[in-house]
Structure 1
Amino acid sequence: MNTTAPTEPDTDTIKMFVGQIPRSMDEKDLRQMFEEFGPVYQLNVLRDRATGQSRGTL
């Protein structure tokens, strides 16, 4: 029995947008939080183009 997570998402995978994320959280923090519920295949944090800072909430 193969117990490793697949490297590609299932065709029924849900794409989810999450708002109001604190600027103090980075990709690593978010991945840890969401992997509690299942594999995370891709994670994008929106960033300000000029500063590179997360566009999350203060």
Structure 2
Amino acid sequence: MELMETNSPDLVKDQPDADNIKMFVGQIPKTWDETRLRQMFEQFGPVHTLNVLRDKVTSISRGES
């Protein structure tokens, strides 16, 4: 791992805020994708990473039926 010291927050935009939280959300419709979820959650603040769990064989969301 390489660490960079900087006084400019612009140089580390790809890193999450030090106060970020990891949130797990279940029971979402199978038809919802990362774009829809990002739009929904970004109204409350920036989203650094978002992953929809998918079936390894079919690549279909493992959300609620």
Secondary structure (helix, strand or coil) at the match of 2:27 reads coil
Aligned-partner Cα distance in 2 for 1:9–1:24: 27
CA apart distance, 1:19: 0.4
Cα-to-partner distance string for 1:12-37 (whole Å, 9 max, x where unaligned): 11000000010010010000000000
Please report the TM-score for the alignment, with normalisation by the length of structure 2. Answer: 0.76
Higher helix share: 2
Question: Can you give the 5+ residue segments of structure 1 that lack an aligned partner in the other structure?
Answer: 1-5
Please report the TM-score for the alignment, with normalisation by the length of structure 1. Answer: 0.85
Aligned-partner Cα distance in 1 for 2:42–2:34: 12
Corresponding residue of 2:48: 41
Cα-to-partner distance string for 1:2-57 (whole Å, 9 max, x where unaligned): xxxx7221111100000001001001000000000000010000000000000000
Question: Can you give the 5+ residue segments of structure 2 that lack an aligned partner in the other structure?
Answer: 1-11
Corresponding residue of 2:32: 25
| Moved segments of 4+, more than 2 Å | none
Q: Which has the larger radius of gyration?
A: 2
Structural RMSD (CA): 1.5
- How many residues align? The count is 54
